[in-house]
Structure 1
Amino acid sequence: MKCQIILAITISAISITIDAASNWSYTNKDTNPTTWANQFHTCGGHFQSPINLPRSGLVYLANLGKIEMSTNKKNLSAKYTVLNNGHSLMIKFPPDVHTVTLNGDADETYGVLQMHFHWGSTNRVCVVVDFAV
């Protein structure tokens, strides 16, 4: 099953094609960010993504507790959907397969339904990865 998911993601990523229905982009002069407010009214505001998160404003909260990810192995053969719309890669997970529990509290268990990988403008990228425990 893992091989099928990896293969589907790889094929989708390699065959990046912009769908004819896609009517926004980062680089096309007719559909770039300067035109978004004309096409989509809600894009004309002041609180739009991507949101810049500067390192100087980041705060580590040690008391957040742990995050546990679980997989219901009985449903692993369920159907996954991978969609590439030219702006992002979305993986739709079947219901009741993957869950995330916060702070070890069963009342804070949430189903994983989708995962998104985005690409595009990188003028404000700031990546901090720390795998230390």
Structure 2
Amino acid sequence: MPRSIFSYIHPAGSFGLPEFKDSRCALCGNLDMDCSCTECEHPVAVDGGEQRCGVRGCLEHLLDRELLARIEILDARLENLRQEAARRETPTLPCPECGEVQTVTIYNNGPYLCHGYFYAGDRHGWIRKGRY
């Protein structure tokens, strides 16, 4: 489906937005309209004759070594993203009552509570619950 600068261009008579959740390429993960995969050249039998598969991002005819290479690339990307998430973790200031330091992660960005205090970030620190 072609896109304009500001929105998607829909064919005449179509209303509403297209359903995107099932329109992703199984191999590259991009939306079908942005898929960078080539068409599968694997021969298949169709009506007694032989044709090429022609599916973009075909997993069925992907060679084992290509599948393994794709898995290793994605594992490396995922590990790099997890390392970046761990790098972005920051400790809170110590709780004014017990001195406990909590870790602010991207998975759990708050609220942080301890002994009736709410952590409002480095700028404001711990604030007594009900005084903010």
Taking structure 2 as the reference length, the TM-score comes to 0.21
Highest relative contact order (Cα 8 Å, sep 6+), 1 or 2? 1
Taking structure 1 as the reference length, the TM-score comes to 0.21
Decide which structure has the larger Cα Rg and report it: 2
Choose between structure 1 and 2: higher strand proportion: 1
